[in-house]
Structure 1
Amino acid sequence: MILVTGGLGFIGSHTVRALLDLGEDCVVVQRRASELPAVLDGARVAVERADITDRDALLAIGRRHRITGIVHLAGSFPWPPVPEEPVEATRQALGGLLNVVEAAQEWGVRRLGVASTIGVYFGAGGDGPLREDAPLAMSAAVSIPTFKKVGELLGGFLADATGVDIVNYRISGTWGPLGHPDPFFAAPALIHAAARGTVPDLSHLMGPAFAEDGLDLSYVKDTGRAIALLQLAGRLNHRTYNVGSGRATTNAQIVEAIRGVVPGARVGLPAGGGGPHMVLDIGRLQEDTGYRAEYDTERAVSDYIGWLRAGNER
């Protein structure tokens, strides 16, 4: 049985769905009571309400279920980015990660996977797709990549010290059903506007959006399946894996795909952008798990618009 922290969230629920489809039983840990999301309708999933920062509550789950692996997707970083009590928020974030590692050690799990982010590569420099062995900058402008870098360093130390197989997932920009507006890319907002027949609200973005802006975007169903394959692989040759599409998707490509589904969609963006696009090299993921993306841009756009038009809010 695989335990998934944050397993009723955006990426978590799709990861659970992929694990179930691959024949695994799952138990999800969620801090707040919540119904199963629509992607898990009809699924047999054990739900444990617990906060991973509560060590005793987390460890007790292992007495109720036989946990063989852990996928840690719950946030291990302070939120909001500048919390009112930064020291305590940092203590909670790192404490949650340490509790999960302790649980993995106590339960004797085969593998612990920990979510990281494409954001760790900001400032890494270099040309071409970003490889896992690229040198990383020591600083970061926002909290999430800062804490993910710290988590990767701690994970490496603890893997060596405890013998637990700890694997990092550097996850690219992910979008699709159950997602929220993302501050770094426009695709979700464009899709929602097309499905609702409105003009997209892009006020949440960190900067203006242009047609040729691009990023390695992965449809969440592909992201969840990649994580599931990494968790279940018999042998992994590395400690860190990029999880993405391996290609840049521009806003112009998203808009074109949207208009193939909704011809009158008012989702045009001004020309411009087109600076360096962050793209992940996913060779390790493909070689060690056989992963191949199932959703190109056109299929992903059609699927997501269909999901929203079926009455789902996000």
Structure 2
Amino acid sequence: MILITGGLGFIGTHTTRALLDLGESCVLVQRRPAEVPETFAAEAGERLFVERADVSDERALLEIGDRHKITGIMHLAGSMPWPPGAHEPIEHTELALRSLLNLFRAARDWQVRRLGLASTIGVYAGITADGPLGEDLPLTMSAPHVIPRFKKIGELLAGHLEEVAGVEAVNYRIGGIWGPLGHNPDPFFPAPQLVHAAARGTEPDLSALVGEVRAGNGIDVCYVKDCGRALALLQTAGRLRHRTYNVASGRITTNGELAAAIREHVPDARVDLPEGRTPGAVDNPLDITRLREDTGFEPAYDTRRAVAEYVDWLRAGHER
């Protein structure tokens, strides 16, 4: 049985679905009260359980192991001071680090097979490289945002604790993710804003994006169902040869490609973007060779299929 923090979140929901489809059972840990979604109704109470606990509370977390036989842990909730300003800064930092350390305590005490830790594409910020970004590239000591800053800290702590505590810890560097249940607006790429506007017949609002939006600009984005399946495969693989994996599509999706796919599915969509590419824009894809070799993963969604499914999902009455 796999324990998943953030298991009812954006990526967590799709990862849980993928694990269930692989025959696993799951315990989803939520800090706030939560009900099992209808999509999991068939497995609820048999192969899927929801537990309310704050992972910064060691006792509450460890008590879950008294009720369920936990064999693996996936930490998809953020061990970081988030949202900013929610607590006194030093206290907030302490809570974030305590959550991560408690999961290592649980993994050690329950003798779980693998502790998977969600990291981010943001750890590569500041790296200048030709071609895809591989996991062995040396990272800078700085970070432009609190999320990659604490993910770097988490990766370093995981490496140390794996050595001294005997817990297999694996870092999952997740790329740009989009699709059903996702965030809208997104500050880093326009896919959610463009798809939502097309589904509702409105003008897209791209004001929340960081930087200029041009047709030639792109980023390595991965449809969330592919992301969830990749994470599930990594968590259940019999043997992993590495301790860090990129989780992405392995290719750049340009804004122009996205707009063309939207227009094909929604001919009257207002997705006209300025042509060209912003000078100096960085658009390195993530190298997913490790992921492919150790799990057999291949993305199932190209841009056209992802857009069509996402638009239809929103038109069916879903807000996100």
Pairing partner for 2:158 from 139, 151, 155: 155
Indicate the residue corresponding to 2:35 in structure 1. 35
Shift, 1:212, TM fit: 1.6
- Name the Cα RMSD after superposition: 1.2
The 1-side partners of 2:295 and 2:15 are apart by: 15
For 1:95, give the aligned amino acid: R
What corresponds to 1:287 in structure 2?
293
41 and 269 in structure 1: CA distance in 2 versus 1, 3 angstrom threshold: farther
Partner of 1:202: 206
Decide which of 111, 116, 123 is 2:126's aligned counterpart: 123
Letter in structure 1 aligned against 2:51: E
Pick which of 26-35 and 166-175 moved more. Answer: 26-35
Matching of residues 68-83 of structure 1 within 5 Å: 68-81=71-84
By how many angstroms is 1:82 displaced? 5.5
Q: TM-score, normalised by structure 2?
A: 0.95
Q: How far off its partner does 1:37 sit?
A: 3.8
Counting matched residue pairs gives: 314
Q: Deviations over 1:222-270 (max 9, x none)?
A: 0000000000000000000000000000111111000111000012222
TM-score, length of structure 1 as denominator length: 0.97
Which residue is equivalent to 2:245? 241
Q: Which amino acid aligns with 2:236?
A: L
Worse overlay, 29-38 or 93-102? 29-38
Query: How far apart, CA to CA, are the structure 1 residues paired with 2:96 and 2:38?
Result: 29
- 2:250/2:285 contact within 8 Å kept: yes
Q: 1:13–1:39: 8 Å Cα contact kept in structure 2?
A: no
Question: Which amino acid is 1:191 matched to?
Answer: V
Equivalent pair of 1:51/1:58 in contact (CA under 8 Å)? yes
CA-CA distance at 1:125 after TM superposition: 1.3
Mapped partners of 2:290, 2:270: distance in 1 = 39
84-93 or 3-12, which moves further after superposition? 84-93
Whole-Å separation in 1 of the counterparts to 2:232 and 2:95: 27
Cα distance in 2 for residues equivalent to 1:73 and 1:40 = 18
Unaligned 5+ runs, structure 1: none
Unpaired runs of 5+ residues, structure 2, are: none
1:230 alignment partner AA: L
- Residues 13, 40 of structure 1: 8 Å contact kept: no
Structure 1 residue 39, shift from structure 2 partner: 4.4
Asked if 1:255 is matched to 2:259, the reply is yes
Q: Distance in 2 between matches of 1:55 and 1:244?
A: 32
Pairwise CA distance, 1:291? 0.5
* Larger CA deviation: 283-292 vs 273-282: 273-282
Equivalent-residue separation in structure 2 for 1:4 and 1:80 (angstroms): 20
Task: Give me the whole-angstrom Cα distance separating, in 1, the residues matched to 2:313 and 2:152.
Answer: 34
1:81, 1:142 within 8 Å by CA — same for their partners in 2?
Answer: no
Per the alignment, residue 220 of structure 1 pairs with 224
Residue type of the alignment partner of 1:306: D
Q: Quote the offset at 1:280 in angstroms.
A: 0.3
Whether 2:314 is the aligned partner of 1:308: answer yes
Distance in 1 of aligned mates of 2:84 and 2:129: 28
Counterpart pick for 1:270 among 264, 270, 274: 274
Contact 2:34 2:50 (C-alpha < 8 Å) held by counterparts: no
Q: Letter of the 1:18 partner, please give it.
A: A
Q: 1:311, 1:102 → 2: CA distance?
A: 42
Query: In the aligned structure 1, how far is the partner of 2:299 from the partner of 2:194?
Result: 22
**C-alpha separation in 2, matches of 1:278 and 1:176:** 21
Question: Offset at 1:38?
Answer: 5.2
Cα deviation for residue 87 of structure 1 reads 1.1
Q: Does 1:94 align with 2:100?
A: no
| 1:18-61 deviation line (CA, Å, top 9, x unaligned) | 00000000010011112334543533320001111111100100
CA distance in 2, matches of 1:192, 1:35: 26
3-state secondary structure, aligned to 2:220:
strand
Percent identical = 64
Partner of 2:171: 168
Indicate how the Cα distance of structure 1 residues 31 and 84 shifts in structure 2: closer, same or farther if over 3 A, else same: closer
CA contact (8 A) 1:13 1:37 kept: no
Q: Any conservation in 1 of the 2:176–2:219 contact (CA below 8 Å)?
A: yes
2:303 to 293, 297, 309: 297
Deviation at 1:202, TM superposition (A): 1.6
| Distance in 2 (alpha carbons) for counterparts of 1:205 and 1:82 | 22
For residues 158-208 of structure 1, what are the alpha-carbon distances to aligned partners after superposition, in whole Å with 9 as ceiling and x for unaligned?
Answer: 001111110000000000000012211110111100000001112222233
